[in-house]
Structure 1
């Protein structure tokens, strides 16, 4: 089948496109190549796509373009059987500085995808949402009926985009699903994330820097589990019209995460502490029972196993990846 992956040069979209190609599907990647972080990571991802397509004998096309270009989006969606919409502006902190840009890309861009999809025979649109839609927890773990009161423009833009997706599913009978990702990590992840910074500093015998007192908690989800959740949506319509949590069921304090990484790489290092950002969430923790019931989703990586796998990948790719992390 023909699959369109928007944001397919990025972290999650890149892994999705690679897996779809390996599974024998034809893939078109649309990505604006925005330099939110060094484009060297995206270039490596695209090289991997071409190699995977050649090995699998599948058709692959990369198109540099913007989801805000409604004509381009209409053309690409019109040729697709499935759309995995991963494109968008990421980053809670940057959204505070540029809220209108996040609205234009994450909301208007998603509406372009949805409008194009309802005019065609697309089998399903799967959009990337975020745990940031929840905001301050009234209870944990978050289930999908928890109030959605985002505290950042990023979270607000993701909530608007997913609400449009679910509304289009209801009003226009468009099969659409929103997956609420919880802090995804793994090979080729963004270099400005906590895990990459902890690993990089420990690799260079520098103490990991913890922002705040480190008691904040996160539900870190390994990229392979996220890819598996998306693959399930090629087979089932049970989640159409729904927003669904995709997490690990496990959460960890940031200071404990730093200790896990430190102990894996450089056990003698101490920590450093710095001020945390006001827009950062205090706690995240996913209830994934809905994903289990509707999709058969079962996360398989806890944070310690996932960190070990990421550290192994980091060591194998240190020559090119670390310089990008250190520059971020």
Structure 2
């Protein structure tokens, strides 16, 4: 089986490629455009083990400016993770990047898939499409994104749905909830918290720190994502991928202080536009369709991410 993964050099994409290559007779074609220059070194580090595998082929290309038809030759399944991430940076003139890479690139890829049929097109979306909701959020909840980023990812979902309706592309949509763990980007909260505590630098907290998230360890997230490969009755479905342990930002910092045996210096900032106060995934659909059971505790996941940061980023 030949699988194409866009965003293959990213945080989750690199973990996904490694996991797919553990499956016998799977070849992986990885695509990444290295769009954000400040992440280039991190992405090269993410790829280092993948590039030693003879069943992995990597192409550093922009999806909007390459011969996608040639890249898709013989491909059976597509995982489309490539996107410009980040809620806080999606406002203002930077939104054009989100339009180009989260919307336009997705539409161009879907156009080519019309002519190069695949058995599944798995689109990776985000809990940011939901916006502010009370309690557990099921896939039936009406999306009301709070940020341009959320709008761009929801637009990608709608593009997938109209191409499925009109051209029969076998779409599966997975919505990730706050993924953390080794290789998390340096601009993301846990990475900033761990690095700040270790270096004795102030940690910026947006809002009062009481906002809660449904944290998902990256390897749990990847197991669910790989399960979609062979799962039955998932075509056309939207599926939440979340964890089993919610916590507030201040609770996470307390856990890190205990883990690192150092106190954090907190610098409270204004709450940022686009950030919901709480997220909480109803994962019953993933449990039913993907046989998904998250296993890694928040404490253990933080420990593994701390080890990774000490080894690779300090």
TM-score between both structures, scaled by the size of structure 2: 0.94
Are residues 1:284 and 2:289 paired? no
User: CA separation in 2, counterparts of 1:269 and 1:64?
Assistant: 39
Are residues 1:171 and 2:172 paired? no
Q: Which residue of 1 aligns with 2:15?
A: 15
User: Alpha-carbon deviations, 1:23-62, whole Å to 9, x = none?
Assistant: 24211111111226431110011211113x1xxxx42211
- What is the deviation of 1:168? 2.5
Are residues 1:29 and 2:24 paired? no
User: CA separation in 1, counterparts of 2:165 and 2:285?
Assistant: 19
User: CA separation in 2, counterparts of 1:206 and 1:269?
Assistant: 8
Cα–Cα, structure 1 residues 104 and 209, in superposed 2: closer, same or farther, change >3 Å? Answer: closer
User: CA separation in 1, counterparts of 2:37 and 2:11?
Assistant: 12
Matching of residues 152-191 of structure 1 within 5 Å = 152-191=147-186
Does the Cα contact within 8 Å between 1:77 and 1:113 map onto a contact in 2? no
Specify the SS of the correspondent of 1:89: coil
Does the Cα contact within 8 Å between 1:166 and 1:243 map onto a contact in 2? no
Q: Which residue of 2 aligns with 1:321?
A: 313
Specify the SS of the correspondent of 1:78: coil
User: Alpha-carbon deviations, 1:167-214, whole Å to 9, x = none?
Assistant: 323332221111101111111110011101111111123354322110
Does the Cα contact within 8 Å between 2:209 and 2:249 map onto a contact in 1? yes
- What is the deviation of 1:74? 2.3
Does the Cα contact within 8 Å between 1:208 and 1:258 map onto a contact in 2? no
User: CA separation in 2, counterparts of 1:106 and 1:272?
Assistant: 32
Are residues 1:74 and 2:69 paired? yes
User: CA separation in 2, counterparts of 1:278 and 1:62?
Assistant: 37
- What is the deviation of 1:90? 0.7
Q: Which residue of 1 aligns with 2:128?
A: 132
Does the Cα contact within 8 Å between 1:92 and 1:152 map onto a contact in 2? yes
Q: Which of 45, 59, 63 is the equivalent residue of 1:63?
A: 59
User: CA separation in 1, counterparts of 2:264 and 2:5?
Assistant: 41
Deviation larger for 267-276 or 224-233: 267-276
Specify the SS of the correspondent of 1:245: strand
- What is the deviation of 1:78? 3.0
Does the Cα contact within 8 Å between 1:82 and 1:125 map onto a contact in 2? yes
- What is the deviation of 1:13? 0.9
Q: Which of 249, 269, 273 is the equivalent residue of 1:274?
A: 269
Cα–Cα, structure 1 residues 191 and 268, in superposed 2: closer, same or farther, change >3 Å? Answer: closer
Does the Cα contact within 8 Å between 2:200 and 2:265 map onto a contact in 1? no
Instruction: Structure 1: state its 5+ residue gaps.
Output: 323-328
Are residues 1:5 and 2:22 paired? no
Are residues 1:43 and 2:44 paired? yes
TM-score between both structures, scaled by the size of structure 1: 0.90
Cα–Cα, structure 1 residues 28 and 114, in superposed 2: closer, same or farther, change >3 Å? Answer: same
Q: Which residue of 2 aligns with 1:112?
A: 108
Q: Which residue of 2 aligns with 1:310?
A: 305
Does the Cα contact within 8 Å between 1:260 and 1:304 map onto a contact in 2? yes
Specify the SS of the correspondent of 1:45: helix
Does the Cα contact within 8 Å between 2:172 and 2:234 map onto a contact in 1? yes
User: Alpha-carbon deviations, 1:236-265, whole Å to 9, x = none?
Assistant: 232111111101032211111111111110
Q: Which residue of 1 aligns with 2:244?
A: 249
Cα–Cα, structure 1 residues 6 and 214, in superposed 2: closer, same or farther, change >3 Å? Answer: same
User: CA separation in 2, counterparts of 1:187 and 1:261?
Assistant: 15
User: CA separation in 2, counterparts of 1:82 and 1:129?
Assistant: 17
